[in-house]
Amino acid sequence: MPQSLKPKIVFIGAGNLATNLAMALFNGGYQIIQVYSRSQVSAGNLSSKVNSPFTTSLKGIIQNADLYIISVPDKAVREVVEQMPLNKGLVVHTSGSTDISVLSKFGVNGYGVFYPFQTFSKNRIISFENIPICIEASNDDSYNKLYLIASSISNSIIKMDSSTRSWLHLTGVFTNNFTNHLLALSQQISKGKGFDFNLLKPLAIETIQKAFDISPANAQTGPAIRFDIDTIKLHVEKLKEYSPELADIYKALTLSIQSSIHKED
C-alpha cells in the first residue's frame, strides 16, 4: 500500500526491541511520527534513525497516530499504560510475558499484542524476514491491521493468545538466555585454559541445525546420555577445582538429561 495509506506509528520505548522493530517498519515504508523514551539519549538516538520527532514525557505523546507500539521493559508496561493519555489509534505492546488485558483501557479503538520472537540489541539491527511475529488483538479489525503490518516485514505470522505466548517467551529464556550463558561459561573456560573460543562455533552451529533437523531428543549425545560415569566424574572433578559453581551447573544439567530419558522409558 502507498505510504499515505500506511498507519502512522508512535513508538513508546526506544530499547533493543523498539529500535529493531522501528527500523524494520521505517525501512518498510512506514512513517514513525513520534518516539517516546524517558531517556532523552535513547529517544534522540532512535528518532534520528527513523527520522521522527521525540518526546520524553508520556503526557506529550500525540493523539492522532494510527498505531501506538509500547515496547518498554516487561515490568514497565503497566505503569506506562496507566500514564498514557487515551488516543484515536490502535495500541499494542510487544511483551512476551504480559497479558493483552493490560491494555484494556484502550478498548474503544482496539488493542493488541505484536510480539516478534527474537533476541534484539540496539547496535545489531537484524532483518525481520524470518522472525516469527505473534499477534493477538481485542477484535477482528485490529487483528487484521496487525496482520497486514506484520506480514509486510516478516514471512512468519502466528495468531497466539496471551497464555501460550507467555510459555513461548519462557522457552525463549531457555533457548536464548540460558544457551548464551552456556556459551559464556565455555568462553570463560577457554580463556582460563588457553584455547580459542571460536573453536566452538562450528559445534554450536551444528548443535542448533541438528536439533531442528532431527529433534533435540534424537540429537542428544555425550557422557550424560551414555551414562558414561567415568567421564562425568572426571568432568565434575575438573570443574570443582576450577569453579564449584560450574560443577553444580554441570551436575544439574547432566541429571536432567538422564532423567529425561527415564521419562521416555
Quick note: the x/- pattern for a copy of itself over 18-57, rule CB under 8 A, is ----------------------------------------
Nearer to a copy of itself, 86 or 234 (CB): 234
Q: Which positions from 228 through 247 interact with a copy of itself, judged by CB under 8 A?
A: 228, 230-231, 234-235, 238-239, 245
Q: Which helix (H) or strand (E) holds 241?
A: helix 229-242
Q: Smallest distance, Å, CB 68 to a copy of itself?
A: 23
- 216 scored as a contact of a copy of itself (CB under 8 A): yes
Q: Which is nearer to a copy of itself, 45 or 186 (CB)?
A: 186
| Residue 18 exposed, middle or buried by CB count within 10 Å (0-12, 13-18, 19+) | buried
Between the alpha carbon of residue 257 and those of residues 21, 63, 224, 227, 245, the distances in Å are 37, 53, 6, 10, 19
198/133 Cα distance (integer angstroms): 31
Determine what percent of the chain falls in helix, strand and coil, rounding each to the nearest 5. 55, 15, 30
Q: For residue 36, which of 69, 20, 58 has the smallest C-alpha distance?
A: 58
Q: Which is nearer to a copy of itself, 41 or 252 (CB)?
A: 252
Among residue numbers 85 through 124, which ones bind a copy of itself (CB under 8 A)? 97, 117-121, 124
In the complex with a copy of itself, the residue whose CB is nearer, 41 or 170, is 170
Of the pair 139, 220, the CB lying nearest a copy of itself is at 220
Near a copy of itself in 150-209, by CB under 8 A: 156, 158, 160, 164, 166-168, 170-190, 193-208
Q: Which of 58, 215, 240, 265 binds a copy of itself (CB under 8 A)?
A: 215
Residue length of the chain: 265
Q: Check: CB of residue 133 under 8 Å from CB of residue 154.
A: yes
Question: For residue 148, which amino acid is it?
Answer: L
In the complex with a copy of itself, which residue's Cβ is closer, 144 or 171? 171
Kindly tell me which residue out of 75, 79, 85, 88 binds a copy of itself, with binding defined by CB under 8 A. 75
Cell of 214: 532431527
**CA–CA separation, 43 and 70 (whole Å):** 13
